[in-house]
Amino acid sequence: MTTKDACFFSPYLRRLTEEGYLTVERACRGCKYRVLDPERLRNYRKKIEDYLDLYSLYG
């Protein structure tokens, strides 16, 4: 996962790490994230995107 991808998740980073989707290997400058389970992370990202789509319809 690139830094840019990780930045997409930055608001959710704490939750993702707590739930075991990501581990933080380094902080901020030159940060690296390691995906523990890429399939679960993809599903989680899809849920976020679906939620945002739904929210935009009613927002």
- Please write the tens of the pLDDT for every residue from 26-54: 434 444 555 555 676 677 777 777 777 77
> For residues 39 and 2, which has the higher predicted lDDT (pLDDT)?
39
CA distance 38 to 43: 9
Task: Give yes or no for a contact between 6 and 13, defined as CB atoms under 8 angstroms apart.
Answer: yes
Q: What is the pTM of this model?
A: 0.32
Q: What is the pLDDT of residue 37?
A: 59
Domain count, the chain: 1
Q: What confidence score (pLDDT) does residue 42 get? A: 73
- Show the tokens assigned to 47: 């849920």
The proportion of the chain whose per-residue pLDDT surpasses 90, expressed as a percent, equals 0
Range of the domain at 25: 3-58
